[in-house]
Amino acid sequence: MRSFKNPHVELIYDIFIVFIAIFSVALVGLDYLHVINIYHGGLALAYYSIWIFYIIDYIVGLALAKNHKRFLLETSLDLISLIPAHPIFVVFRLYRVIRIIRYYNLFWKFGWDGRFTGGLHRFIYDTGFIYLFSISIVILIFSALIYSHFEQHNLSTSLWWAITTATTVGYGDISPQTVGGKLIAGFLMFGGIGFIGLLTSTITDFFTHGENDATDDKIDKLTEQIELLTKEVHSLQKEVHKKSTPKKGAKKK
């Protein structure tokens, strides 16, 4: 997140970021439904102005970041949203909105408890899911762009081919015909499938370990309660023993 000396300026800036992110995604959605055309007139000016603003914002953020490597990893989806090859990449700007919501703890203010947000944070960051997901997305996009160049398909069709190939679904409706297309298909088969497999195993491990951790927590709590009860029993036994033992010098009746 960008830090400002004035918290009011920071809040206004973040609200503006959220607004233009949602606005740009709405533009792309309406364009996809053929309601508007974002490549003509004032809409084109607005669309490309927002894109340029995001590029400047990203460059400035990278320049001011204390740890550039961490910044690149945490904002990998923001970087993907700057790809100008197809409007679909604009959707990744919503990730910035989610980060802003987390920054201001809006989930908690909306009444969502920390167990949900804490678990979500562990799933996304602690397991490395966000990094594997980002790399997988980059591989898919890179493969689709090159495939569309060699096979003369549009990017939407090429992305569909890349996804079906990387996930080993392989419907067979689209297949490479050129040498370049076959080479990128081979790259995607080895690289893409590997990262998709890592994603799947990461998700499986998270939920498996989550159940084990929950069981371990219950056992730990029960153990603590047993130890506490044991101490209380020992304390009561000592008090009973003291009361039942006659004091020295006391006369027996």
- 233 vs 69, 236, 241, 244, 246, CA distance in Å? 56, 5, 12, 16, 22
Nearest to 124 by CA among 74, 192, 72: 74
Q: How far apart are CA 196 and CA 43, in angstroms?
A: 37
Radius of gyration of the chain (CA): 29
Can you give the pLDDT at residue 173?
82
- SS3 string, the chain, reads CCCCCCHHHHHHHHHHHHHHHHHHHHHHHHHHCCCCCCCCHHHHHHHHHHHHHHHHHHHHHHHHCCCHHHHHHHCHHHHHCCCCCCHHHHHHHHHHHHHHHHHCCHHHHCCCCHHHHHHHHHHHHHCCHHHHHHHHHHHHHHHHHHHHHHHCCCHHHHHHHHHHHHCCCCCCCCCCCCHHHHHHHHHHHHHHHHHHHHHHHHHHHHHHHHHHHHHHHHHHHHHHHHHHHHHHHHHHHHHHHHHHCCCCCCCCC
Mark the ranges of the chain whose per-residue pLDDT is less than 50.
253
pLDDT at 251: 52
pLDDT at 166: 83
Tokens 């003369």 -> residue: 152
* Stated pTM of the model: 0.59
Burial of 140 (0-12, 13-18, 19+ CB in 10 A): buried
What integer pLDDT is reported at residue 58 of this predicted model?
92
Which class is domain 112-236?
mainly alpha
Q: Are 27 and 93 in contact (CB under 8 A)?
A: no
Write down the pLDDT at residue 248.
55
pLDDT of residue 48: 92
The residue ranges of every structural domain in the chain are: 1-104, 112-236
Residues constituting the chain = 253
**Total Cβ atoms within 10 A of residue 40:** 9
Per-residue pLDDT reduced to its tens digit, 89-132: 888 888 888 778 777 766 665 555 555 556 666 666 666 677 77
Query: What is the model's pLDDT at position 109?
Result: 57
Residue-level pLDDT at 119:
62
Residue 162: Cβ-neighbour burial (10 angstroms; 0-12, 13-18, 19+) = buried
